[in-house]
Amino acid sequence: MKASRTAPRDERGCPTLVRSAKMSPPVPALVRSPLPAFLIAVVALLAALAPAASAAVPEPVALDEGWSHVPDPSDRGARLGRTTGGGGGWREVEMPHVFHQGAVTDATFPGTVGWYKVTFEGPEADSGHAWAVRFGSVRRRATVWLNGRRVGDNADPYTAFALMLDGLREGEENTLVVRVDNRKGLEPREGWWNWGGIVRPVELVPVGRATYESAAVLSDVTCDTGGEACSANVIVDGWVRNRTARPQRPLVDLTLRRPASEGEQGAVVARRTVRAPVVRPGERRRLSFRVPVQGAPALWSTERPALHDATVRTRLGGAVEDVHEQRLGLREVDVRGGLMRLNGRVVEMRGASIQEDTPGRGPALTDADIEWIVAELKAVGANVTRAHYLLDDRLLSALDEAGIMVWSQAPVYHRSDLLTDPERADFELGVLRRTILGGRRHASVMTHSVANELDPWPDRAPATGTWLHRAASLSRDLDPTLPLSLDLLSYPRVQRQATYDRFELLGINSYYGWYRGKQERSTADLADLGPYLRAMHQKYPRQALVITEFGAESTFSGLPDVKETYEFQERYVRETLAIVDRLDFVNGAIYWTLREFAVQPDWDGGALRRGVERDGIHNKALITYDGQRKPAWYTAEAMFSATPLYRDGRPREEVLMAPVSSGPSALRGWGMAIGVLVLLAGFLVLDVWALRGLLRVRRRRGHGAGGAAGAAHVIDLRRAA
């Protein structure tokens, strides 16, 4: 196969180079440029006048064709010569790919081993550039060989990783082999199917003599309360790596352009060049600098998702070694007075969470799958979504463009017991780090949630409390521009936890009225949700509260008081959202989930219906696994659409419309109401016209004022009309 070249992506990022399964080095201290300001200005001017040299950087090469796969349930592939691409049984597959095509079965959940290979012509590059292979995601563990030589491993199933391809033969055939192992026991616990495979795109990326790893341009906007006046800076952040044999001080320069208009390139609104500190051979050092944005900023918001074009170049001796391109949304997300604001205005969040799971392909999403997800979120009226892991970069880019916020979360789920192991705690901190670095470039990402449903008493659980403190510090260091969040189990009567003071946003996973809870901490009655939320607000008045999960299973039609009926789910959605509407200190609600997904064998989901055969599908969603909208979808759409995006300082009751029970959308409902009023007005005009005609007839014929005769004429006229 000859590898196909692709144009530089909108959001490519420099790869983080991984040489082994060990975690990346700890984040170094923040380093500022030591150059005086006037020298930086001179360098920036010279850079602006110099001819662009980005053409010297090779383009990425997509490895999207020519792949083959072979199962290895007995894990004997190495002995059969699989590491070099040998052995029989290989069959061609389309990428991305999961092991098990078709319906999920109990037998596939524990996982297995599979092998992938692709043969490609090595791309050419100048003497200063090498190549790495970048995987968007491999579930769960990957070991990679190039031409029979092992080049590295990865054990994080939900974030991208890159491996240097030492020994790549330029202009000749090369064989890349990947062993994927998705075998999993009871731990780590996850609330979705145990998929295995190469589930996101693969590409070759050029690596210069100096690179700016994990580079990101972050929005640093400040708006007054109400959003009337805003000023903007950007923060350029990353790690400079030196691949040469002697110490270097590369130049890193930023160019930021306003959003393009009608195909025309936007004007430059920010530009700066900074020299990195001395980086010794093989080392890397952090470089971070702030750049003011000229003029009134064009802000990113859910109703107007403006995206600037940012380019960051890294240069050595005048040659461009590395180019990072990003579509940047300038926006401010913060918490003031216990309420989350977007660009200075209190925002009302309504939406539904997503799982990357398409029937027959699982998380191996196609471009069409991504378009479907975004379209369905828009159709239901969502301005926010959420996931339990870092979403596919293509999906995040689509959400950037659609103006849909993302409550991004590291997949640290029910891990309190595992966090007692120091090595595991460090690993989970690495997962969080990679999740933030992957999401912070996206305007749609409005918070970094460090974990989901850990021990409800972190103050008295040393391992959990310590890990949360470390997680908060790491998150704030990697992205100081967004509020931090933590998603909680909604058990009642849990004392105030001082650990939560480190988080500006608290996500409430509420299943009041669905799950029973514990005997001493019942969540069986939906009516208890309001008092629980009031108690949480009293304990944490400075934090913004958001319902990050609520949902009820539904698979058939029946009575509204019978669990698992469509009618029960519809009422549950309506009544939960009505509770949120009445509490002005709650910033929003995110339904779990938009579309059904595969979860685990024998999943009951809290319905507690005996003797019912289960298919492993999570049925709480608003849309069935095969894409059919449930009745509750229409209720959610009506109530989401009836909720104004901003509160603008007015009391909640002044800006929220009355809840709509179910059926057609609020917009269609108002249209029907207006139509009925117009029709009645038409009948009234017709009656007046007919009555005038009748009176003329009576005067002409000399009739008296007899009511019976007059009534008969009126009835006849109405029938004629």
Q: Which of 516, 512, 549, 504 is nearest to 530 (CA)?
A: 512
d(C-alpha 255, C-alpha 265), whole Å: 12
User: Would you say residue 181 has pLDDT above 70?
Assistant: yes
Torsion of Cα atoms, 185 then 188 then 193 then 195, to 10°: -80
**What are the backbone angles phi and psi of residue 139, rounded to the nearest 5°?**
-105, 120
pLDDT for 520 equals 86
pLDDT for 622 equals 98
User: Would you say residue 713 has pLDDT above 70?
Assistant: no
User: Would you say residue 654 has pLDDT above 90?
Assistant: no
Query: What are the pLDDT digits (tens) for 510-556?
Result: 999 999 888 889 999 999 999 999 999 999 999 999 999 999 999 99
Rounded to a whole number, what is the distance in angstroms from the first to the last CA of the chain? Answer: 76
Lowest mean pLDDT among 503-512, 541-550, 611-620: 611-620
Distance of CA 523 to the CA centre of its chain: 29
User: Would you say residue 684 has pLDDT above 70?
Assistant: no
Could you say which DSSP state residue 124 is in?
Answer: P
Q: Which of 321, 127, 155, 325 is nearest to 241 (CA)?
A: 321
pLDDT for 38 equals 42
User: Would you say residue 369 has pLDDT above 90?
Assistant: yes
User: Would you say residue 452 has pLDDT above 50?
Assistant: yes
Query: What are the pLDDT digits (tens) for 2-11?
Result: 454 443 333 3
Give the residue, 597 or 187, on which the prediction is more confident: 597
Rg (CA), the chain: 30
What average pLDDT does this structure show over 133-147? Answer: 98
d(C-alpha 65, C-alpha 1), whole Å: 8
Exposed e or buried b per residue across 226-250, where buried means at least 16 C-beta atoms within 10 angstroms of its C-beta:
ebeebebbbbbbbbbbbbbeeebbb
pLDDT for 652 equals 58
User: Would you say residue 263 has pLDDT above 90?
Assistant: no
Q: Which of 178, 167, 164, 169 is nearest to 82 (CA)?
A: 178
pLDDT tier at 260 (50, 70, 90 boundaries)? confident
What average pLDDT does this structure show over 601-611? Answer: 86
pLDDT for 108 equals 86
Q: What are the structure tokens assigned to 78, written together?
A: 């190495």
CA angle 126, 130, 132 (to 5 degrees): 145
Q: What are the structure tokens assigned to 4, written together?
A: 């196909």
User: Would you say residue 672 has pLDDT above 60?
Assistant: no
pLDDT tier at 682 (50, 70, 90 boundaries)? low
Give the residue, 469 or 605, on which the prediction is more confident: 469
Q: Which of 308, 580, 548 is nearest to 405 (CA)?
A: 548
pLDDT tier at 712 (50, 70, 90 boundaries)? very low
Could you say which DSSP state residue 265 is in?
Answer: P
pLDDT for 313 equals 97
**Which amino acid, residue 486?**
L
pLDDT for 716 equals 28
Q: Which of 493, 503, 364, 387 is nearest to 435 (CA)?
A: 387
What average pLDDT does this structure show over 498-503? Answer: 98
Could you give the 3-state DSSP secondary structure of residue 134? Answer: strand
pLDDT tier at 650 (50, 70, 90 boundaries)? low
What average pLDDT does this structure show over 321-342? Answer: 97
Q: What's 631-645 look like in SS3?
A: HHHHHHHHHHHCCCC
User: Would you say residue 717 has pLDDT above 50?
Assistant: no
What average pLDDT does this structure show over 185-210? Answer: 93
What average pLDDT does this structure show over 140-153? Answer: 98
CA angle 116, 120, 125 (to 5 degrees): 130
Q: Which of 415, 434, 391 is nearest to 487 (CA)?
A: 415
Per the document, the length of the chain is 721
In terms of Cβ atoms closer than 10 Å to its own Cβ (0-12, 13-18, 19+), residue 528 is middle
Is residue 500 within 8 Å of residue 543, measured between CB atoms?
A: yes
User: Would you say residue 700 has pLDDT above 70?
Assistant: no
What percent of the chain is modeled with pLDDT above 90?
A: 74
Contacts of 611 (CB under 8 A, 6+ apart): none
Q: What are the structure tokens assigned to 107, written together?
A: 């037998």
Longest dimension (CA), the chain: 117
User: Would you say residue 170 has pLDDT above 70?
Assistant: yes
Lowest mean pLDDT among 261-270, 540-549, 597-606, 680-689: 680-689
Query: What are the pLDDT digits (tens) for 458-493?
Result: 999 999 999 999 999 999 999 999 999 999 999 999
pLDDT for 653 equals 59
Q: Which of 11, 16, 207, 12 is nearest to 125 (CA)?
A: 207
Lowest mean pLDDT among 107-111, 395-399, 403-407, 677-681: 677-681
d(C-alpha 402, C-alpha 381), whole Å: 12
Could you say which DSSP state residue 671 is in?
Answer: H
Q: Which of 481, 483, 449 is nearest to 468 (CA)?
A: 449
Average pLDDT, the chain: 86
Contacts of 460 (CB under 8 A, 6+ apart): none
Query: What are the pLDDT digits (tens) for 13-25?
Result: 333 333 333 333 3
What is the model's pTM? 0.84
Q: What are the structure tokens assigned to 266, written together?
A: 């936007």
pLDDT for 690 equals 45
Contacts of 521 (CB under 8 A, 6+ apart): 491, 492, 493, 494
pLDDT for 37 equals 41
Lowest mean pLDDT among 50-59, 296-305, 345-354, 356-365: 50-59
Lowest mean pLDDT among 145-149, 259-263, 425-429, 501-505: 259-263
Query: What are the pLDDT digits (tens) for 334-347?
Result: 999 999 999 999 99
User: Would you say residue 144 has pLDDT above 60?
Assistant: yes
pLDDT for 681 equals 55
What average pLDDT does this structure show over 375-387? Answer: 98
Is residue 543 within 8 Å of residue 505, measured between CB atoms?
A: yes
d(C-alpha 536, C-alpha 508), whole Å: 10
pLDDT for 663 equals 41
What average pLDDT does this structure show over 390-400? Answer: 98
User: Would you say residue 112 has pLDDT above 80?
Assistant: yes
In terms of Cβ atoms closer than 10 Å to its own Cβ (0-12, 13-18, 19+), residue 680 is exposed
Q: How many CB atoms are located within 10 Å of the residue 500 CB?
A: 18
Give the residue, 650 or 175, on which the prediction is more confident: 175
Contacts of 484 (CB under 8 A, 6+ apart): 447, 448, 449, 450, 472, 475, 476, 502, 503, 504, 505
Query: What are the pLDDT digits (tens) for 60-105?
Result: 999 999 999 999 999 999 999 999 999 999 999 999 999 987 778 8
What average pLDDT does this structure show over 651-680? Answer: 45
**Peptide linkage before 108 cis (omega within 30 of 0):** no
